[in-house]
Copies of this chain bind each other. A is one copy, B any other.
Amino acid sequence: MDRFLRLYCAQINSTVGDFKGNFEKIAYHIEEAKKNSADIIAFPELAITGYPPEDLLLKPAFISQNLKYLDKLKKLCSNITVIVGFVNRDFEIFNSAAIMNNEKILSVYNKQYLPNYSVFDEERYFQRGALGYIYDINGTLVGVNICEDMYYSSGPLQHQAISGGATLIINISASPYHQGKIEEREKILYTRAVDNRVNILYVNLVGGQDELVFDGNSMLVNEKGDILFRAKAFQEDFFIYDLDSEDLDSTRLQDAKYRTQRDWTRQAEGSIGVLKIVNEKNSNNIGKSITFKKTEDRYRDSIKGIEEEVFNALVLGTRDYVQKNGFKKAVLGLSGGIDSALAAVIAGFAIGFENVTGVLMPSAFSSRGSIDDSQKLAANTGLRTFIIPVTNIYEAYLDALKDSFKTRDMNITKENLQARIRGNILMALSNEHGWLLLATGNKSEISVGYCTLYGDMAGGFAPIKDVYKTMVYRVCDFINKKYGNIIPAEIIEKPPSAELKPDQTDQDTLPSYDILDNILKAYIEEDRDYQDIVKSGFDDKTVAKVINMVDFSEYKRRQGAPGIKITARAFGRDRRYPITNKYRLK
């Protein structure tokens, strides 16, 4: 029987700072891997601390705690090589992978490429690592690197494969989701595998952490770029895969160019050291190959299409925010509109509809449908609802403020006032019952400031904050198709309205959402300027108006609740904008 290498990919959901919980998850999978006689088990980047720990990394005690748990882990590592992400301290700190076996930390790899763009701040905390070893594990040369390290064509991965002669690269990662990211990552993996004639085991984190969702999608790619196996998206998962001699040696060893390269390396041995790792007790799995290579297993992920991907990201992000912060239940305002309906459905899928309360808060300007349609949604889903009218409270404010208001007519002040009364009621329910308040605003509104600070923006978490209105419709359609029309057609079909004055619709103030969303994408995600956006065929006055609204609303967003990033550029850590800013279109 041929030689083979049994890999165990542990795609876990770590929680930031939960050393004990993370340790227990890691320990569980090490036990499982041992039971299944795996040669190597790999966990995601910073699996011990959770990712990203942000300024917790500045606390010496936090680093010590992580080292203490690494030390506890090493005692579990016998007869198996364990690769796990942790924070290494060597005067300064590093984002690192420990390579352990025989109850020892045999080697540490320090991440060399530290992302410091988008949501990432790794240069704020970590020093850059330098060249490490490659590992001879049971006869196979293995290179280990971390996330960003594989994004550069002439980075550590190439060095380990081409100069070092590694036939397997293990990349441990904490790569957050956004639309298009999964494909992008697959392309990188394909390119690195093929260019360097190397197998790559990619182990990604899964789970929600504040504004980020890590989608998992860990995978094993062979040196032809084929995906041999893929873990599930948006949930914890693991897989076991036996790489045999054919996988490990075939192409590159046949290829004169690469053989020469490898021979050269062996001569120039100092350029990259090889650390030999053998199990002290004989490995008990030699010759007992179990394979998972059947075609039907290759893609365990059944997600199809961006809408399902987005919905899954929103559900996981919401569930983890609620539960990791110690909540069991959530509350939100149900206006009868599509945004609050979608937020309610996401919350229901995340923590169970029986744990979600929708509050109906009609005013004199509410349509009859705002009540009926919400109750239909509740009937379809099991969402709990109750009604608290706001009219009396509104009147009490108007009375108290009568000497301070310039006009008795309806105006923005009074629209905001109504929204803030609702925010206050919801916060009172949240305080009284310990329910997390979910804000229901979408990205289109939040971009242009079509929302009330402390009103509909109130909440601990904003599930659809990064979802454009047009995507809100698409995700609702997907939900209705997949789960049997649980969102009433009336909610989807009515013209969007804040219902804060008579006969109001969003389009009194905003361009149609099709147009708005395209301008917003160009301006926010692509950093295109006024002239350039107009050139692509939009009305110049509309573009000017939208850009000005976006710029002027920065102060509102700064005080908005966190929400799940699903686009290439979300508001939050991802877009660091000055409030005080006189830069205008021209």
Contact = CB atoms under 8 A, between A and B. Distances in A.
Contact of A454 (B53, B62, B424, B578): B424
Interface string A441-474: 0000000000001100010100000000000000
The listed residue with most B CB atoms (<10 A of its CB), out of A527, A576, A580, A584, is: A580
A511 interface: no
Interface in A550-586: 555, 558-562, 573, 575-584
A425 B400 contact: yes
Interface stretch (A38-46, A151-159, A245-253, A391-399): A391-399
B583 A19 contact: yes
Interface string A10-54: 000001111101000000000000000000000000000000111
A424 B428 contact: no
Interface string A57-72: 0111110010000000
Given A116-B116, A400-B389, A325 B579 contact: yes
A397 B401 contact: no
A56 B527 CA distance: 9
A117 interface: yes
Nearest to A114: B123
A584 B16 CA distance: 11
Contacts of A405: 428, 432
Interface residues of A, number: 87
A549 interface: no
A489 B202 CA distance: 67
A94 B189 CA distance: 32
Nearest to A361: B400
B527 A321 contact: no
A56 B400 CA distance: 43
A210 interface: yes
A126 B389 CA distance: 53
Interface stretch (A174-182, A278-286, A413-421): A413-421
Contact of A582 (B17, B411, B531, B578): B17
A215 interface: no
Given A16-B583, A576-B54, A576-B55, A424 B397 contact: yes
Contacts of A324: 580, 582
A209 B117 contact: no
Nearest to A453: B427
A149 B417 CA distance: 50
Contacts of A562: 558, 579
B576 A15 contact: no
A222 to B, nearest CB: 36
B580 A56 contact: no
A530 to B, nearest CB: 8
A579 B406 contact: no
A110 B583 CA distance: 24
B404 A429 contact: yes
A386 interface: yes
Closest 7 CB pairs of A and B: A17-B583, A61-B529, A18-B582, A396-B396, A454-B454, A413-B431, A413-B432
28 contacts: A15-B582, A16-B583, A17-B582, A18-B582, A18-B583, A54-B577, A61-B532, A117-B124, A123-B123, A208-B580, A320-B580, A325-B580, A388-B401, A392-B399, A393-B396, A397-B424, A405-B428, A405-B432, A411-B432, A412-B431, A416-B427, A416-B428, A420-B427, A421-B424, A423-B454, A424-B424, A453-B458, A562-B579
